Amino acid sequence: MIVARITERLDGAAAAERYIMEHLDAVEMRRMAVERAMAAKQYEAAEKLCLDGLRQEGYYRVHESEWACVGASATTAS
């Protein structure tokens, strides 16, 4: 997360967005991507990020309830 914020300060929002999307395997990066999509009212993108997190093997299964909850919020907000 820190690198994404530094990238945004130094190289702009588009560069930070690319960095985040390239590192979705990190839970915090996926969470940040979902939060950004929700803030931008891009609910379908937020839902896709959540569903993709649910489909991931291994580590994301620990966060299954989080992705399901955020995904449900994205669905009801649209």
Query: What is the reported pLDDT for 62?
Result: 56
Q: Provide the domain limits for residue 9.
A: 2-77
Question: Residue 40, by phi and psi: left (phi above 0), alpha (psi -120 to 50) or beta?
Answer: alpha
Q: Tokens 């991507």, residue? A: 33
Number of domains comprising the chain? 1
Query: What is the reported pLDDT for 22?
Result: 95
Query: What is the reported pLDDT for 26?
Result: 87
Query: What is the reported pLDDT for 24?
Result: 92
| Average pLDDT of adjacent 10-residue blocks, the chain of 78 residues | 90 93 90 94 93 71 59 52
